[in-house]
Amino acid sequence: MCGPEEAVIGPSEECVAAQSPVDEIMTRRFACRDFCDAPVPRRTIEQILHVARFAPSGANIQPWHVYVLGGAAKARVSAALLDAHETCRDEHVSEYKYYASELPDRYLKRRQEFGRLFYGSLGIHQADAEARSRQTVKNYTFFGAPVGLIVTIDRRLEAGSWLDLGMFVQNVMLAAAGRGLQSCPQETFSKYHRILRPLLSIPEEQMVVCGISVGKPAGQAQRLMPRANVDEFATFLGLDA
């Protein structure tokens, strides 16, 4: 059990001392894949973007652009992507590579654990390609969230600007969590940039990086994924224990 000052960060007994409201929000956020249909007002999204833009960026170039979709606009996008996924998914490919072709062992193991936990939680056997595909399709309906964001970046920018963009995306998700909402970052949208471009009038120089679903989580939704311990990724030098 977690003590009164601790926030549960996983379905296991894992706890972390959340010592500030920011800690609490960071540990409360999770990739939500089941939203209820409670509306999120435009004003709330404007506030989220208002604070998220304080993300740092090299030389303050602020390399992000966001398309905010709700109502009929979101429904149009979902319908087009669902159709493409159904009829010609193999003709579409992302403009960037998210994963290394050969994941080093440590990351491969984590990806395998992700698969076990994720599909296990849904009662889907990992060998059941059909059931996995039915789950993947839910990405394109933004998992039922009332608001979907499509995030783009200028293709002329370099890797450093992608770091900046990641910070912005995280800020969006934390600002959402701070308002009792949840989110899911989704690289799955990048694959369908040829469909999204005309639908959203995305200029040629912008690359579709990801989507973000935003809304109120459905009752059962919770964090599934554990994290490596600090001593597995941090090397301390010159600090007393």
Question: What residues line the site for ligand FMN (CB under 6 A)?
Answer: 30-31, 33, 114, 139, 184-188, 210, 223, 225
Rounded distance between C-alpha atoms, residue 239 and residue 241, angstroms: 6
Min CB(210)–ligand FMN separation in Å: 5
Contact predicate 178/48, CB 8 Å:
no
What SS3 state is found at 4?
Answer: coil
Report the residue number, 54 or 114, with the smaller CB distance to ligand FMN: 114
Measured from the CB of residue 64, what is the shortest distance to ligand FMN in angstroms? 13
Count how many residues are written for the chain: 241
Amino acid at 18: A
| Phi and psi, residue 4, nearest 5° | -65, -25
CB-nearer residue toward ligand FMN: 62 or 170 = 170
Of the pair 54, 98, the CB lying nearest ligand FMN is at 98
For ligand FMN, which is the closer residue by CB, 41 or 108? 108
How many Å apart are CA 21 and CA 149, to the nearest integer?
25
What SS3 state is found at 17?
A: strand
SS3 31: strand
Q: How far is the CB of 138 from ligand FMN (least distance, A)?
A: 8
| Residue closer to ligand FMN, measured from CB, 4 or 104 | 104
Tell me the three state secondary structure of residue 148: strand
The least distance separating ligand FMN from the CB of residue 43, rounded to whole angstroms, comes to: 26
Question: Whole-number minimum distance, CB 16 to ligand FMN, in Å?
Answer: 12
